Structure 1
Amino acid sequence: MVVRKEKKTRKLRGHRTMGWGTKGQHRDRGTEGGRQIGMHKHKWSWVVKYGKDWYGKHGFVNPTTKKISAISLRALDQLLESGKIKIEEKDNKKIIDLTKYGYEKLLGSGNISLPITVVVNYCSEKAKEKLNKIGGEVILTPNT
């Protein structure tokens, strides 16, 4: 694009509307697409091609629903083997703080190979049983 040497205002001095037309004089911002008018008539081909779900209801999100990020014993074991979750040692105990990694709940599906102490907000009974069986334990932290 070529850069202007002089400002447009200098070029249009003496012309009443300065190039912005007789009606609006650059006051309005035109049709920016904020109001989606004509989608069922003259923009219908766009709707068919790109906007498959343009019309109709699209579900409901309950505002009182609370999402809890959980991890199973199987997934925890895989993350430990791959080294993505580090084991800390305190008082000759292997401790993993899952709250540091963004997990709030420990689930009991799968098995774990190491006797570890897990610090987490919530834990299922099955996960507690499996950890206690191999010599580990679960420490529940107060929920914030």
Structure 2
Amino acid sequence: MRKKRRGAGSRGGRGNAGTGKRAGHKKAGMPPQLGRYGFLPRRGFVKVKAINVGWFTDSRVSQLLQSGKATKEGEAIVIDMDNLGYQKLLGSGNTSFKLKIRVERCTESAAEKIKAAGGSVTSEVAEE
């Protein structure tokens, strides 16, 4: 005959085996009822798609003119950024084109760079 406590049988198995229908068993399946859980997004946050002044290169401007997304008024090239899917114009980079840009938002540095090239910016909101 063997000893009684040689294997795991005398303690109901190994680890959490054999706990059966005890108190902690059902807690895992119950939904949390109090408090906040998980990620809560910021309310009122609107994602703005932005583009830099330096984006307007020779190839891109000619591509916009060919596709009809930009038009020419004399020497100036008229671009409506809403048609391109952008809401904000940022001031990184430079452009040599005389652009007339209509955009929802525009930084001061972007407006200065466009005006320095002989163009103009029409925006609803001017930002720093």
TM over 0.5: yes
Q: Which residue of 85, 90, 103 corresponds with 2:86?
A: 103
Q: Any gaps of 5 or more consecutive residues in structure 1? A: 1-39, 41-56
Greater strand fraction, Structure 1 or Structure 2: 2
Would you say 1:66 and 2:49 are equivalent positions? Answer: no
CA distance in 1, matches of 2:38, 2:58: 37
Q: Which residue of 55, 76, 99 corresponds with 2:56?
A: 76
CA 1:75–1:59: 2 relative to 1, 3 Å: farther
CA distance in 1, matches of 2:60, 2:89: 14
TM-score, normalising length: structure 2: 0.56
The equivalent of 1:128 in structure 2 is 111
Greater helix fraction, Structure 1 or Structure 2: 2
Give the letter aligned to residue 104 of structure 2: N
CA distance in 1, matches of 2:85, 2:104: 11
Give the drift of 1:78: 7.1
CA distance in 2, matches of 1:60, 1:82: 44
Q: Any gaps of 5 or more consecutive residues in structure 2? A: 1-27, 29-36
TM-score, normalising length: structure 1: 0.51
